[in-house]
Amino acid sequence: MAGSNFGTLFHISTWGESHGAGLGVVIDGCPAGLSLSKDDIMPYMNRRKPGANDFTTSRKEADEIEILSGVFNGLTTGTPISMMVRNADQHSKDYDKIAGYYRPGHADYTFDEKYGFRDYRGGGRSSGRETLARVAAGAVAAKLLKEFGIEVLAYTHSIGDITLPKQVLDNKENITKEAVLNSSLFMPDKETTKKAEEYLYNIKKELNSSGGVVECIAKGLPTGLGEPVFDKLDAKLGQALFSLGAVKAVEIGSGFVASRSTGLSNNDEFILKDSKIAKATNHSGGVLGGISDGSTLVVRAAFKPTPSIAATQHTVNKNLEEIEINIEGRHDPIVVSRAVVVVEAMTALVLADLLLQNSVSRLDNLKKIYGKK
């Protein structure tokens, strides 16, 4: 299987299956000298792990990260950083029934067609549990970005048709990590969280599931991240977020709203602020011509409803018979709340990689390191 690698200079390779012995990641290209420990990574893992509230799978996993290489005396050594999490609470028998049929909305059919067989235990490599490896790597990327004053923060933008109020979204730069973490759904508004909780309780009673949107912002970005042609910042973000199994749409800045706007209303006029060039608005979401423009990065990922639902569905089995099914097991009625930190991690990975690449984009940058003393 190809395609388990991501990044150019800050490069990751993930491995493992939902019901295997464990999952992990190898990071290549992290600079030496970065302070790093398990304590830097576990807060990210805890935000993603199952069993945190009534709206996540009841699978109980501590998701304790083990750092196997690349760190010595609390500092990265510049060599590959290998990390893993051991699986502990697999109920593989819960999936025996699905071995002979294809679940609607899942990768069962396409996986079988591509490889000739599949690991049906929780989706194997296609499982959302694979994202824990990305989160571990993203925590390291976020720690590296903080060295340069760059902060990445994701939160739940909407669940179903329940969206954060306009006053919150219009002042997104004031959204704090504390407000995000204080919400059961990582939605930085108490009233909206309550409405979304009520909505999800009703969805669960109906044996159904819901989709939603995660928004991510990055503050403190320098200008210059991203390349002007194929490796645009927005193109890299699109690839990163579309690589998440349940993501069906990605927006930068105004996104689809821009298609219904005019040039006069959508253009961000330049102004002087504290004797520096800035923008009066941020419809571009911090990206112009595929390159970061120094303003806050704004990206959104739309997640489809969880396809594993207990309500009766129609499908086809391997004997080419049409059947009715009710999917059993432990499943999230919504993936959005657990996906918040995954979106944050993938965004951090993109930015860390492009930050390293940008360091060699100008001769004077190299002269600062290798010029004559």
Q: Is 307 annotated as a binding residue?
A: yes
Compute the distance between CA of residue 234 and CA of residue 288 in angstroms, rounded to an integer.
Answer: 9
Residue 245, CA atoms < 13 Å, CB-side half-sphere: 18
Q: Tokens for 20?
A: 């295997």
Q: Is 80 annotated as a binding residue?
A: no
**Nearest Cα to 12, choosing from 82, 67, 106?**
82
Q: Is 127 annotated as a binding residue?
A: yes
Compute the distance between CA of residue 246 and CA of residue 209 in angstroms, rounded to an integer.
Answer: 13
Q: Is 260 annotated as a binding residue?
A: no
Three-class DSSP category at 301: strand
Q: Which DSSP category does 122 fall into?
A: T
8 Å CB contact between 12 and 137: yes
Q: Is 38 annotated as a binding residue?
A: no
* Sole residue written with tokens 């996906």: 339
Q: Is 126 annotated as a binding residue?
A: yes
Q: Is 333 annotated as a binding residue?
A: no
Q: Is 121 annotated as a binding residue?
A: no
Q: Is 125 annotated as a binding residue?
A: yes
Buried b (16+ CB within 10 A) or exposed e, 65-100: bebeebbeeeebbeeebbbbbbbeebeeebbeebee
- How would DSSP label each residue in 15-34? EE-TTSSEEEEEEE-PPTT-
CA angle 352, 358, 362 (to 5 degrees): 165
- How would DSSP label each residue in 136-153? HHHHHHHHHHHTTT-EEE
Output the known binding site for NADP(+): 48
Output the known binding site: 48, 125-127, 289, 304-308, 330
Output the known binding site for FMN: 125-127, 289, 304-308, 330
